[in-house]
Structure 1
Amino acid sequence: MSYYVPKGGLPPQTALTTDRARFTEAYAVIPARTLSDITTSYLPGWSGMRMWVIARPLSGFAETFSQYVVEVSPGGGSDAPESDPAAEAVLLVVDGTPTLTLDGETHSLEPGSYAYLPPGAHWTFHNTGETTAAFHWVRKAYHRVEGVDVPPAFVTREQDVTPVEMPGTDGAWTTTRFVDISDLRHDMHVNIVNFQPGGAIPFPETHVMEHGLYVLEGKAVYLLNEDWVEVEAGDFMWLRAFCPQACYAGGPGMFRYLLYKDVNRHVGLTL
């Protein structure tokens, strides 16, 4: 397995302007080269960091989450990374060897490390390694339900989680699930979806869950609403609820993406 890591920079003046970037009423595609130096953002309370904001709530489009790709230089980090006490988060490390301190316990991270941080968790993040660290940071306002506990924090690695084979696919399509789908304490799932070369989603999924899909590895042709779009490692797709979706993995290697979706809660009846 591998993880695409954006490196910033800027396309040369000789590069073609034409690209696969799209923003429609149903979906958006942010190609890998869009993550350049001039599209970075910064956060108060952090040192030696920059980030690309690839999803944020937008009224009338997709509304449940934000997602950042964060780069932290050696020695950089934060003792107060999250300013919103209602926010839960998932971190997926894709480069470097940073250190996460979570509720007083220190965790040495590496590519493939995954952390779930419930609302109100006390955590810090520092790059104690000698090379730049990079990670995905998915944030959502946790939807509390009376009688349902807030899920506990945990840290694991993709390498330690066995992918679940999708029914009838003979392993061509699997999902690495970090949370039990029957655990109603969780109101979002952030999984890794894996396709062998030639694997496919063989029907247009059309459902209430909003999606964010960041391609970690490989390439594919993806159906987004009525359009077939080529995507590759480093691209991000953002789908609002009920946007039809399917894909064919183009090979020659694995096609894998980090997938966000909102789950397990009543639908709000007011706008």
Structure 2
Amino acid sequence: MRYAFPPGGLPDQSESPEGAAIFTTAYAVIPARTMRDIVTSFLPGWVSTRAWILARPLSGFAETFAQYAIELAPGGGSNQPEPDMEAQTVLFVASGAARLTLGRDSHDLIAGSYVYLPPSAVWTIWNVSDEPCGIHWIRKRYAAVRGIQTPEARVVHESDVPMAAMPDCDGKWATQRFIDPLDLRHDMHANIVTFQPGGRIPFAETHVMEHGLYVLQGTARYLLNTDWVDVGPGDFMWLRAFCPQACIATGDEPFRYLLYKDVNRHPGLSL
């Protein structure tokens, strides 16, 4: 499997600055070609690591989550990665190798590794290889519910998670669910969605869930609100609640993306 990650670097001076980035009141598209060195951040508590911060809570837009792409240089990482003890984390490794410690346990992560870490988890992560390690990182404050336990940590590789085909689609649309959707301990999911060439979402989904979609592989035409947008590897889409969405996979390889969504909680009734 191949998993896209920001390219870094800087375009040549001969290239046109006209681009495909879009920001509207309903959605944003951040193309891979805009994810360059000059828009990275360096985070407190992290060593030899840079971050593309692709989404953060914005009033009146998407408000539940932050999403990063972090690149750990050889020897890079952190012993204190999470500054917010109420935050839960999903990590998905796109390239390279890293060692995660979780309490007294240690896990060697490779491309395709998925990690869920509950709030207050004690964890560290370090690049233990001679090559950069690219990791997608999603953060959300956990919405605790009285009588429901906080979920435990989970470390798995995506190759061990079966694809669940959607109904009536001849296997052209499938989702790898890293968390049981009926497990009400979880208030967020980060799944991998795969469309075979020509596969599609055959209606404009319109729902309360916010989304972050990072394209891991392939190409598609994606409906965002009223606009059809061409997207490909490394492009990021950021959707607020109720933004209509659909897609048609194009090209001759699968179209795959890492999908964040907030789930399983009552909406708050105050602004």
Matched residues in 2 for 1:3 and 1:224: separation? 23
Whether the 8 Å contact between 2:98 and 2:129 is mirrored in structure 1 is yes
Q: Distance in 2 between matches of 1:137 and 1:104?
A: 22
Unaligned runs of 5+ in 2: none
* CA distance, structure 2, for counterparts of residue 183 and residue 176 of structure 1: 15
Deviation at 1:45, TM superposition (A): 0.9
Corresponding residue number in structure 2 for 1:224: 224
> Does residue 73 of structure 1 match 2:73?
yes
| 1:1-271 mapped onto 2 (5 Å cutoff) | 1-271=1-271
2:182 is paired with a residue of what secondary structure? coil
Deviations 1:230-259 (A, max 9, x none): 000000000000000000000210100000
- Alignment deviations for residues 11-55 of structure 1 (CA, whole Å, 9 cap, x no partner): 111111121100001000000011101100011111110010000
Please give the per-residue CA displacement for 1:45-84, whole angstroms capped at 9, x wherever unaligned: 1111001000000001110000000000111111110110
- Report the Cα distance in structure 2 between the residues aligned to 1:171 and 1:2, rounded to whole angstroms: 20
Q: Deviations over 1:179-215 (max 9, x none)?
A: 0000000000000000000000000000000000000
Amino acid at match of 1:32: A
Whole-Å Cα distance in 2 between the matches of residues 168 and 142 of structure 1? 34
Question: 1:104 & 1:12 partners in 2: Cα distance?
Answer: 47
Between the aligned partners of 2:139 and 2:133, the Cα distance in structure 1 is 19
C-alpha separation in 1, matches of 2:98 and 2:227: 39
Matches of 2:68 and 2:223 in 1, distance apart?
24
Cα distance in 2 for partners of 1:14, 1:2 equals 29
| Deviating 4+ runs (over 3 angstroms) | none
User: Is the 8 Å Cα contact of residues 26 and 225 (structure 2) preserved in structure 1?
Assistant: yes
- C-alpha separation between the residues in 2 aligned to 1:79 and 1:217? 31
Query: What is the alpha-carbon distance in structure 1 between the residues aligned to residue 6 and residue 177 of structure 2?
Result: 24
- Provide the secondary structure at the position in 2 that maps to 1:94: strand
Count of aligned residue pairs for this structure pair: 271
How far apart, CA to CA, are the structure 2 residues paired with 1:83 and 1:241? Answer: 27
Q: Distance in 2 between matches of 1:203 and 1:19?
A: 28
Q: CA deviation at 1:5?
A: 2.2
Contact kept? 1:196, 1:251, Cα under 8 Å: no
Q: Is the 8 A contact 1:221 1:230 kept in 2?
A: yes
SS in 1 for 2:131: coil
Q: Distance in 1 between matches of 2:247 and 2:18?
A: 23
Q: Is the 8 A contact 2:57 2:63 kept in 1?
A: yes
| Matched-pair contact (CA < 8 Å) for 2:7–2:32 | no
CA distance in 2, matches of 1:154, 1:203: 33
How far, CA to CA, are the matches of 2:270 and 2:69 in structure 1?
32
Distance 2:237 2:154 in 1: 27
Q: How far apart are the structure 2 equivalents of 1:6 and 1:130? A: 19
**Match for 2:27: what amino acid?**
Y
* Residue type at the aligned position of 2:136: H
Matched residue SS, 1:159: helix
After alignment, is 1-10 or 42-51 more displaced? 1-10
- Provide the C-alpha distance between the structure 1 equivalents of 2:7 and 2:211, rounded to a whole number of angstroms: 24
Q: C-alpha separation between the residues in 2 aligned to 1:77 and 1:21?
A: 30
Stretches of structure 1 lacking an aligned partner (at least 5 in a row): none
Output the CA distance in 1 between the equivalents of 2:260 and 2:241.
12
Structure 1 residue 157 displacement after superposition: 0.6
Decide whether the 8 Å contact of 1:220 with 1:248 is kept in 2.
yes
- TM normalised by structure 1 equals 0.99
Q: Aligned partners of 1:171 and 1:212: how far apart in 2? A: 24
Secondary structure of 2:97's aligned partner = coil
Distance in 2 between residues matched to 1:34 and 1:256, nearest whole Å: 20
